[in-house]
Amino acid sequence: MAINRPKGTQDHLPDGSPKLTSDISARAFSYVTDTARRVLERAGASFIATPMFEEAEVVKRGVGGSTDIVRKEMFSVYYFGDHGGYVLRPEGTAGIVRAYLQNGLKQLPTPLKLWTHGPMFRAENVQKGRLRQFHQVDYEVLGSTDPLVDAEAILLMVQVIQGLGLTGVQVKLGSIGDPEDRDRYNSYLRELFTPHVERLSDDSRDRLERNPMRILDSKSQADQALIQELQVRPMLDFLGPEAQQHFEAVRGHLDAWEVQYEVDPSIVRGLDYYRRTAWELHHQHIGAKSALGGGGRYDGLAAQLGGHETPGIGWAFGVERLLLALEQEGVTLPESEGPLLYVAALDPEHIGVAARVALSVRAIGAAEFGYKAQKPGNVFRDAERKRARYAGLIGSDEAAAGTVTLKHLQSGEQQTLPVSELVAYLTGQAAADMPASQALDSRA
């Protein structure tokens, strides 16, 4: 029986794997999450982790009962003796806001900036860039309605993109107004589409009843053709004075920071809890699934989950989409560093000594040891393959004298020194050798 991973999932593989391609490289994956961590933690965001499954009700209320995600794409979780109504999380925001409310995070200084990354699950039709288990980097800010927070959130997304070295990315900015603005817009759409109901897809007929705005981001070509033909007015035309003012303030900050964006009046985010600012980042060259990420303000969400009114805003990047974009642009990833030391014994009885030497060096850096005795030439060869900075040998002379023979692989310089001095010696050398990129973080 062949063993296969489930449809719509990916293995992210270590360097050297025979089936490795750059979009499933574990190193590229970490490059994305490390870059996001650096940008977001510099901006004061704290890491948060929430469960991968939540009560279905949290997701239903959080994401919205009329969305495709809730209606068609949820993975239910059952376990022995319990049909407890859990689902795998399809996105991060509902769980984070649930955690904020449940754990009294309101006590923390406001606005509270949180970030996370991890797998999300949606039972979608699988295609390139659309998976059933995919990964997101999420950023959420709770406790402020200030448009400055919105602008900073968008800027941080742009800085993650810049930190990754991507260039072909466009920010599309819109506003979906306040609930009363959306009510007016939905009435307009209902009147507009009702005479053409027979031309709408089944899904969109249903949307016409529940939430006509959803029709606008329909995946059906027939729906999209009708939308073009009817020259549907955009949500932006329906903003009330407060939402309008908020939108202009966000734009003012972005302009002042010279963040490039394009106003896209047609933006309708797929999730029900969004208010006012909404945006998406698109990549020019990754085809139909071009959205790298998106975000929006969700002031109504906390109350919808049964908590106290708490304004919020957040965004999510799709990690796999970023990997496709990195591949598409041919961005060179930083090489992973080899260990500081690879040390091996020349005789089986000294393997334990070599291991102890490596374990002590791990206090200051990466160090590996040979599990078998090796000839000196093979120790050097393996150290080079691992791209170690130093190779260490423990022969019987070294074992008897409590020393190690050390070779700096780049210069070929060799010396024997007491094991008791090794850590101090390598610490000094490591500082002297440190690549400029590590001494001073130059990206982002």
For the bound state, the minimum distance from the C-beta of residue 136 to ligand AMP, rounded and expressed in Å, comes to 5
Among 25, 136, 310, 403, binds ligand AMP (CB under 6 A): 136
32 near ligand AMP, rule: CB under 6 A: no
Stretch that binds ligand AMP, among 105-113, 125-133, 325-333, 435-443 (CB under 6 A): 125-133
Q: Which residues contact 324 (CB under 8 A, 6 or more apart)?
A: 23, 128, 129, 283, 286
Query: Would the CA dihedral through 249, 254, 255, 256 be positive or negative?
Result: positive
124 near ligand AMP, rule: CB under 6 A: yes
- For residue 299, the 8-state DSSP code is T
Among 32, 59, 131, 171, binds ligand AMP (CB under 6 A): 131
310 near ligand AMP, rule: CB under 6 A: no
Stretch that binds ligand AMP, among 53-61, 127-135, 335-343, 400-408 (CB under 6 A): 127-135
316 near ligand AMP, rule: CB under 6 A: yes
Contact 57, 94 (CB under 8 A): no
Which DSSP string do the residues of 109-157 spell out, in sequence order? -SSEEEEEEEEEE--PPPBTTB-SEEEEEEEEEES---HHHHHHHHHHH
Strands 82-88 and 112-121: unpaired
Residue 131 or 154: the one with the smaller Cβ distance to ligand AMP is: 131
For the bound state, the minimum distance from the C-beta of residue 396 to ligand AMP, rounded and expressed in Å, comes to 57
36 near ligand AMP, rule: CB under 6 A: no
Cα–Cα dist 278/271, whole Å = 11
Q: How many residues bind ligand AMP (CB under 6 A)?
A: 17
Closest CA to 214 of 222, 223, 381, 12: 223
130 near ligand AMP, rule: CB under 6 A: yes
CA-to-CA separations, 367 to 7, 236, 426, in angstroms, rounded: 38, 58, 11
Stretch that binds ligand AMP, among 317-325, 326-334, 353-361, 398-406 (CB under 6 A): 317-325
62 near ligand AMP, rule: CB under 6 A: no
Residue 164 or 388: the one with the smaller Cβ distance to ligand AMP is: 164
Contact 124, 132 (CB under 8 A): yes
122 near ligand AMP, rule: CB under 6 A: yes
Residue 93 or 186: the one with the smaller Cβ distance to ligand AMP is: 93
123 near ligand AMP, rule: CB under 6 A: no
Cα–Cα dist 151/364, whole Å = 41
Closest CA to 296 of 111, 5, 93, 134: 93
Contact 112, 100 (CB under 8 A): yes
Question: Could you give the string, one character per residue 280-309, with x where binding to ligand AMP holds by CB under 6 A and - elsewhere?
Answer: -----------xxxx---------------
Question: Could you give the string, one character per residue 77-96, with x where binding to ligand AMP holds by CB under 6 A and - elsewhere?
Answer: --------------x-----
Encoded tokens for 433: 């050798």
DSSP H helical segments within 296-439, as ranges? 301-304, 319-329, 351-361, 376-385, 396-401, 419-433, 436-439
Closest residue to bound ligand AMP by CB: 318
- For residue 1, the 8-state DSSP code is -
For the bound state, the minimum distance from the C-beta of residue 131 to ligand AMP, rounded and expressed in Å, comes to 4
Residue ranges that bind ligand AMP, judged by CB under 6 A: 91, 122, 124, 129-131, 134, 136, 270, 291-294, 316, 318, 320-321
